Structure 1
Amino acid sequence: MPELVAHRRDYRVDLLRGVALMMIFINHIPGTFWEHLTSRNFGFSDAAEGFVLMSGIATALAYGPIFMRDRTPPMALALRPWRRVLTLWWVHVLVVLGILGLFFLTVQDPAVAAMSVKRNIARALEDPMLFVPALVALSHQFAYADILPLYIVLLLAAPAILAAGVRWPRGLMVASLLLWVVVGIFRIRVPTWPLDNGWFFNPLAWQVVFVAGVLTGLAMRQGQRWLPMRVWAFRLALAYLCLAAIWVQVPVVAAWGGHGLWMVHEYLGAPSVFTSFDKSFLHLPRLLHILALAYVLSALPALTRLSENPKLAPLVTLGQHALPVFAASTGLAYVAQVTKAMVGPSFLLDTALIAAGFAILFALAGWLSLRKTQRAAIPVEHRV
C-alpha cells in the first residue's frame, strides 16, 4: 500500500484555482477588453483545462487517502465523492433555472433575444415544459454554464479512478489516454436531448486531464511527484509554452503552424485529434499545453512563496471555495452579458461589471471562510 505522509495543505492549488476562477469569470463575459489578458491569449489551453486539472488534484487530496489506507474500503467511504455529486447537481440546477428566469424577464429586448439563440436558451424559453426536465437531467445545457455537468460525471467516476490510481497508476494513465485517442478519432459524443448537440465539454475526452490531476494528487499525498523533475523535461515544457504563446500572438506563426498541422493531417494521415485545437474533444495541442504549464509551475519555488504570501490570501480563499464561487460567477457573468446586450458596448461598463463581479465573489469567499472558522470553533456537540 502507498505510504501517506503528514498532510499539509498545498496552497499552490488554491491560489491557481482562484486565478482560474477569475479568468473564467472574465472569459464568460465575451466582448470585453479584459478577456484579452486571460491565459487563453497566451497559449493553446485556457482556464477551463486548468480548473479541471486542479479539480482532479483536489479530488485525490480529499478522497484519495481512503483508498490508500485500504484497498477495499467500506462502500460508504469509497462513495464519498458521490455526496459531492449531489451538491454539484442541485447547485447546477439552481444556476441554470436562474439563467432561464433572467432571460424570461429580458428576452423582449432584441439583443437579448439574439443572445438566447446563441447560448442555446431560446428553445427552453419557448417550451419550458419540455426543456426544464432536460436541464434538470443535464441533457440540455446552456453555453457558458456547462462545466459543472462535466465535473459531475467525473466525480461519479472518481471512486473507480481513485481505486485504479492507487493500484495501477501507470495502467490508469495509459487506459485514460487510449480512451481519449479513441474518442477523438471516432468523434464519440455524449448525446443531448431534446436537441442533439452533444456535450460541449465531452467527459469521455476531458477525463484524461482529470485523471492526470488525480494521479498528481495521489502522489502529493505520498510526498512525491507523479512526474519526476528533470531538467530536460522542464526545458522542453517551457519551450512548448513559449512556442504556444508566440503561435497565438503572431498571426504569421499561427498561419504557418496551422498549415503545417494541416499537411501532417492530409498527407501523413495523422488523426485530427493530434493536429487541431478542438476544445470539446481536448485535442493534443491543448492537452499538451495544460500539462506543460502544470509541470513548469510545479517546479517553481516562487509559486509556493506566492501562495503563502498574506497579500494573496484573498485569491487563495477564492480557490478554497471553488464550487460556490464558480456557481455565483456563472450567474453574475450571465447578468453582465444581458446588461451588455441591453446597454451596448462600453469599456467603462465592462470594467464596472467585472469589478463588481469580483467584489461580490471575493466577499462571498471571505464570508464562507469566516463562517467555516466560526463553525470550527464551536464544540461538536453544540453544532446544529
Structure 2
Amino acid sequence: MLLLMIFIDHVPGNWFENITLRNFGFSDAAESFFVMSGIAAGLAYTGKLAAWRETGLWAGIAPMWKRAWVLYLTHIFLTIAGVAIFVVAAEAFGLDALLTKNNLRQIFENTGPAILGMVTLGHQIGYVNILPAYSVLLVAAPLAILAARRSPWLVLAASVALWFATGLFRLNIPAYPNSGGWFFNPFAWQLVFTVGLLTGIALRDGKRFVPKTRFLFWLAAGWLVFVLAWRYVPEFGPAMNHGMAWLGSHGLPFHITSHDKTFLPMLRLLHVLALVYVVSCLPIVTRLCAHGLAEPLRVIGRQGLLVFSAGALLSLAGQAVLAFYDGVAIVPWIYIPAGVVALWAIAWLGDWKRRAPGRTASKPASHPERTHAVIAE
C-alpha cells in the first residue's frame, strides 16, 4: 500500500492525493517506508550476522552491501530514465518548463558537475531520491545489527543522539553541485530505519521490541487524534503553529518545532512512530492483510523494488502527461487508476517469474531479496 501511495503522491494535481497517508497527520508514506525497510532488513539479515563466528563476518555483511549496490545502480538508472522522460516530453510536446523542475536545471545548465554529482549521489532529481539514503543505511546496518544483538536500547539511544545532533548542527551530506544537502538526510532518517531494524530483529526472535500495553496504545492513539485536530480544526491548528514558532524564536532547536522533512523533525517522527505502534496493536490489521482480497497488495510487497522503480518512472511520466493535458480534469482520474493496475501487473509478472518452474522457492524470513522486497520499496 505504501508503494501505491508514493506513486499517487508523486503525481501532483490528482484527486487521489487526498486519501493518502499524508492527509492524516504530519508524516507521509516516506517515513513508514523507512520503518518497514528497517523491519525487513532486521528480519532478512540478522540470522547470518548472528552466526558470524561460525560462518565468518563477511558472510553476514555481504548480502547487505550487495543489496546497497543494487539500490545504487537502480537509483542511477531511475535518474537517467527520469531525465530522459522529461527530455522526450520537452522535445516532442514543447513542455520545456519540465526541464527546470525536479532539480533538473543543473543537468542542462551545469552538465559536467551535475553528472559527477549524479554518480556520487550528490545531485538527486526530485521524486527519485529515496534510494540513496536507504543504500547508505544498509551499508551501516551490519554494525547496528551486531550492536543490537548485545544492547538494542543502547543502539536506539545512539540513534536518537545522532538524530538530535543532526538537527542541532544541521549535519547532512553535500548535494553537489547544489548548495545544501540530501533531501532525505540519512543522519536524521536513520532513526526511523533503526526503529524498524530493532523491531525486525525482535520479531525474528518471536518478540516485540516495544511491548503492547494499554497505556502506550492510548497514548499513541491520542497523539494521532491530537495531530488530526492540529491539521484540521479551525483556529486550533494555527494556534499550535504559532506556539511552535514562539518556542523556536526562544531558542528551541528547529527540528523540534518545524516540519522540515529533510531533518525528520520531532512532529513528523512522533507521528509515524505512533501510527506504526497503533497499527501493530490492532488484530484487524493482521486479518485484513491475510484476507484473500489483499493478495494484489501482497504481490506488490513481494516485488517491492521492482514496483518502486516502475512507480517512480510512471509518476514522472504522469507529471509530463498532466502538464500536456493541463486543465483536462478527466486525465488524472484515468491515469492514476491505470498506473495502479500497471504496477500490480508488473508485480504479478515479477512474482510469476520468481515462481516459474525451475526456480527454487525461498522461505520469506531467510532470503534477503524476498523479505527485503518491502523496501520500495
Tell me which residue corresponds to 2:259.
277
Deviations 1:171-220, CA, capped at 9 Å, x for gaps = 10000000000110111121021222310100000000000000000000
Report the Cα distance in structure 2 between the residues aligned to 1:178 and 1:256, rounded to whole angstroms. 30
**Alpha-carbon shift at residue 248 of structure 1 (Å):** 1.6
Report the Cα distance in structure 1 between the residues aligned to 2:289 and 2:99, rounded to whole angstroms. 39
Deviations 1:285-335, CA, capped at 9 Å, x for gaps = 100010000110110111111111011110011112111110110000000
The answer to whether the aligner puts 1:212 opposite 2:195 as a matched pair is: yes
The answer to whether the aligner puts 1:245 opposite 2:236 as a matched pair is: no
Call closer, same or farther: CA 1:372–1:364 in 2, change over 3 Å: same
* 1:151-300 alignment runs, 5 A limit: 151-267=134-250, 269-300=251-282
- Stretches of structure 2 that go unaligned for 5 or more consecutive residues are 363-377
Call closer, same or farther: CA 1:274–1:375 in 2, change over 3 Å: farther
**Alpha-carbon shift at residue 110 of structure 1 (Å):** 9.3
Call closer, same or farther: CA 1:209–1:379 in 2, change over 3 Å: closer
Most deviating of 98-107 and 71-80 = 71-80
1:114 corresponds, among 81, 97, 100, to: 97
The answer to whether the aligner puts 1:339 opposite 2:321 as a matched pair is: yes
The answer to whether the aligner puts 1:141 opposite 2:124 as a matched pair is: yes
* 1:303-342 alignment runs, 5 A limit: 303-342=285-324
Report the Cα distance in structure 2 between the residues aligned to 1:379 and 1:184, rounded to whole angstroms. 44
Report if the CA contact (8 A) 1:179-1:204 is conserved.
yes
- Stretches of structure 1 that go unaligned for 5 or more consecutive residues are 1-18
Report the Cα distance in structure 2 between the residues aligned to 1:41 and 1:376, rounded to whole angstroms. 45
Report the Cα distance in structure 2 between the residues aligned to 1:109 and 1:378, rounded to whole angstroms. 45
The answer to whether the aligner puts 1:103 opposite 2:79 as a matched pair is: no
Report if the CA contact (8 A) 1:104-1:125 is conserved.
no
Deviations 1:265-297, CA, capped at 9 Å, x for gaps = 234x32121111111000001000100001101
Tell me which residue corresponds to 1:5.
none
Tell me which residue corresponds to 1:31.
13
SS in structure 1 opposite 2:125?
Answer: coil
Q: What's the RMSD between the two structures over aligned residues? A: 1.9
TM-score (norm 2): 0.91
The answer to whether the aligner puts 1:76 opposite 2:59 as a matched pair is: yes
Deviations 1:54-106, CA, capped at 9 Å, x for gaps = 00000010001122334684313323201111111111111110111122222
SS in structure 1 opposite 2:261?
Answer: coil
2:4 corresponds, among 22, 43, 49, to: 22
Tell me which residue corresponds to 2:31.
49
For 2:243, the aligned partner's letter is G
Report the Cα distance in structure 2 between the residues aligned to 1:64 and 1:305, rounded to whole angstroms. 27
User: Alignment length, in residue pairs?
Assistant: 361
TM-score (norm 1): 0.89
Report the Cα distance in structure 1 between the residues aligned to 2:93 and 2:306, rounded to whole angstroms. 32
Report the Cα distance in structure 2 between the residues aligned to 1:125 and 1:342, rounded to whole angstroms. 21
Report the Cα distance in structure 2 between the residues aligned to 1:379 and 1:30, rounded to whole angstroms. 39
Report if the CA contact (8 A) 1:241-1:292 is conserved.
yes
Percent identity, aligned pairs only, is 37
For 1:233, the aligned partner's letter is L
SS in structure 2 opposite 1:157?
Answer: helix
